[in-house]
Structure 1
Amino acid sequence: MESHSKNTQSQKLKPLSDALLEVLKKIPPKSGVYHYFDSEGRLLYVGKAKNLKNRVRSYFRFTSTLAPAPNLSLRIAQMVRQIAMMRYIIVENENDALILENSLIKQLKPKYNILLRDDKTYPYLCVDTQEDFPRIVLTRKVFKKTQGLRYFGPFSSGARELLDSLYEVFPLVQKESCKQGKKACLFFQIQRCLAPCEGRVSVESYREILQNALDCIENPKKILTKLEQKMSFLAENLRFEEAGIMRDRISKIKQLSTMSSVDFARLEDLDVFALVCEGSSAALVKFFMRNGKIASSATQIIKSGIGFDACEIYKQAVLNYYNNDLPLKPKQILIPLDLGEVAEELENFLQQRFHKKIPIHNPKSGEKKRLCELAIQNGKEVLRLQKNDEEEVLESLKSLFNLQNIPSRFEVFDTSHHKGAQNVGAMIVYESGVNGFLKESYRHYLLQGSDEYSQMREMLERRIADFEKESPPDLWVLDGGAGQINLAHNLLSSAGVNLEVIGISKEKIDHKAHRAKGEAKDILRDESLQEFRLPTSDKRLQFIQKLRDEAHRFAITFHQKQKQKTMQKSKILEIKGIGKATQNRLLSYFGSFEAIHSANLKELAKVLSPTLAKNAFEILHSDD
């Protein structure tokens, strides 16, 4: 791989200048990836080309001065007018260029590329039919064994709920450890298992029970009646918490049941991608059809203040999803748009990825066209439902801070420490629409820095290093002032990431954070350090405060846990007769300081001598 760039950092270049023209003249006719930058050095766009020279030159009209080519869309013409410099990377072939382009878009988040973050693998239900008494398991990976495995899915949601229901309704082998057991356990006593370990059920009878369970995976309606009966029983016996869990589970399975009712005459395996755009929002709908029925569906909301390029979104969606290991591959991918040459590129990628031909088809009529229309209809409904007051707040935030795009995904950072000890950081993630706070994406950081500035640097550097694994958000929100904002801006510029930053901090009087009684005086700052002192009733301020407060809660909770661990550790070492070696022995047995602290006298005596155990127990519980 060969890289080429024009050194323009020492001087600020104007858009469409002679310096850019000189670079354009020297581009080779080879496969590669190109980057466009504006006069501030911010990344505008990443693209790939089979022939760099032809592709890049197609953006421009070469007259007395450089100008956008006349056949460009309004969106791309707007982008070309901002290009002040470019960089390109030469690769071996077009497929390498396709993969590199997608990787760079996810890491660097260029302004005019739409970033699709939803590249996760969806779970499958799997059963090994070669075992005598097989279990159904939930998996996101492809098992190395190929013979006898049967997969169901993928499931965008509801897989865990369906699996738990199968094990409640059908007397299957409940746990993996039960296979090694020689004696019937509690599950047999409560009639949740037929004890194959004691030979109480034959292989043939068990297979019949298993097949009934597998039928419910293919048609979830079959299990709903039994679940509803159980929910009613729990409610009648005043077990309302358990009934509520059952109600939520039924709701999830009903969503699966709705999709599986769509039935094709032919038993085909198809994946469908359909994009619906309305204003600054778009919905990307995915249908996964297996054996002529829709196994599941997933929808992703995309925001953009500069329009959408449908072809680019479809390309990125296919690359993201099929770059994962998949146990079940479709025979065909349906997309309600003619992708032209891009379809051929994607088919070549799929051929190399899976060693089989998977055509990308734009159906014009028949069942497949109706399936695409159904996906589009679902996308329109999702966009209709997701419109709310928050949309106005986000659009107003874009205007207030002069952001490149309407922010949809936020990462918020805060630190916590006490006199330079137990230094921790926290990152929370918020996504507008139905998702809200994404707690599975929250992160804690143990930090070494002695002050808030160095702690923030350490935390942000570690997050930037993870952009390759988890793409950047639309906006960073920092609990801090001008120093932290400048720090973040410089770190992101050094990494070449197009990500904007704002800050929220308390008003300071006499160099101390001032908290007005009953009224928090928070100051917002944009990347240029302009201050915004909004009234407390302003919804934009309230929205940012909501994000900051959640990050603060998450950081404080983690800090308190770390402080408690340190206190417990110190207390154990203060006990006469317990040194570091004994402490490590206690940790090895109990697993944590919390467990040591809560252990009873009998448990401590399993590790310590009776006298030392008694002494330790009395000291550890002296404050209780």
Structure 2
Amino acid sequence: MLTLSMIEHIPDAPGVYTMYASGDTILYVGKAKSLNKRLRSYLASDLSIKISRMVALVERVEYVQVFNENEAFILENTLIKQHQPRYNTLLRDDKTYPFIRIDLRHPYPRMSVVRKVRPDGARYFGPFVHGSSVFRLFRLLEHIYKLRSCSDSELKRRKRPCIEYEIGNCLAPCVYDVHQPYQAELQELVDFFRGKSKPTVARMERQMKEAAAKLDFERAAEIRDRLATIHKVIDAQTVLDTSGENVDVYYLEAVPGRDRYLASVLVLRDGKLSGSYVKRIHSCEDESQATATIMREYMAGLNPPDLLVCNLPLPTGEEEVFFRDFLQQQRIEYRVPQRGRKRKYLELARVNLERHRDKQVHREAEELASRLGLEKLQRMECYDISAFQGSYPVGAMSVWEDGEMVPAAYRLFKLEGFAQNDDYRMLCETLRRRFTGSLASETWPDLIVLDGGAAQLNMAQQALEEYQVSLPLISIAKGRSLKRRGEESREYDEIHVPGRKNPIAIRGRSAYRIIQQLRDEAHRFSITTHSRGRDRESVTSNLLSLPGVGPETVKKLFREFSSYAEMQQEQERLEQVVGSKVAQRLQKYLTQIDGESKETGCSADK
């Protein structure tokens, strides 16, 4: 049944929505100027019996966002005729929006309005959403461009010009040889339909000014109204390619922290957008591998289009030559557009990818909140402790907010006074400083996540009660190794929840993977900081063992130099700071540890 949770993430923008029943059966395809408002109307209590039955069958809702309402009309028409949904009673027949047809093969082509596109070699411009307006436009263009309106048979038998020639609406190709001026008129008309309407508008504005200069205000007002009709009917329809080409549009984007890409795909057939979807491209470390994967899909038998539009170029080197040969053999054009209509296709695919990502994150966060019994889940904080035999212990906090990691909100806590590895006390101290210290004024999380097991969870729970902090709390730890028959042994992370005896194993594409990512970020942040601090502390203690180097000298060195590598490079400056003898001892020691670090693959530049 359709619920608010299915649609609350859908944007307040024009587009087309598709309602699915179980088994991916399409129930209904609809268009809307505002997708969110239209879908919310299905939650009303005063629905008809038919609509109520349909709403009760809905399992999920998908949508495609477009740029304007006209595009939504056209896409809805295409999808209804393609899928024939059960609850769509209109637009299911073979009638469609009107097109303007021009057969460019004829010596003197003429315009005609048709409702069906046939593979007859003619050019079809449209479809036009407003049926009545297209006929007004047709009559208007007949007045602007001096093309014939008579039939082919009448053109052949006429011996003298008709009334259209007398009133200036036709060049009379039935009688006179006007091939060149006729083709010039025709070319401007075709350019107008292809979106290059400036010459036409300029011509009409010139005619309007000439009429006004002659004080023929009725004529000027008539031309003004015709201009308004043109702007209404010829609205930019980016879901449509008037050339009738078959186009596949790919917008590729890397998934942070994973060797995969997301691809937002638009499929245009016969110039109309027939579908869009988002898919994953696995095992791709860079852009070249992502585009190569797409090309191999076509080489494996995927139905090739006339034109491939992508935001990334083809791989370079030998692969580029190989793929270029394939494209040439199949007569496929590959473009990375920077402007124009094809660039708008990419922009539409990018918007759909963003909506897909937002929808996926929203769904996972909603599912996680439901499983943990939370009313909302907008912000999570994860805490991890890093220390080695009590040296340079640090606490790290990573933050997830509104579907993404927020590195600017990460925090480090330098923990002092701990002589040994006491993770429990260090964790409690970190939580105390976060929620009772200077950071208490920052936004509090909806959920606290700890890197640890049940023991850390219990200790942190007691500490938060002592600090009078009432926030949901869970922990995540490496779980037991599980093995199924015929499979290799695998380790699964486990979620520990207060009041629950058995932990929750994280398997497959679970909603808990957000917590895994958050834990990994906290772990990375704490380990990196601890390693740097421990190395610096180790080198500093060794510096103090050198003759002539005391605590004040070390402080002076750290004030003057940003790294040990800088001390090695600035020999004269080092001598000015500590003297020549101490500088020689320092250079000898730093050269020694630099050689050791190269052997172990580490850097002494701390």
What TM-score range do you get, normalising by the shorter chain?
Answer: 0.3 to 0.5
Q: Say which one has the larger Rg.
A: 2
Query: Larger RCO: Structure 1 or Structure 2 (Cα < 8 Å, ≥ 6 residues apart)?
Result: 1
| TM-score using structure 2 length | 0.36
| TM-score using structure 1 length | 0.35
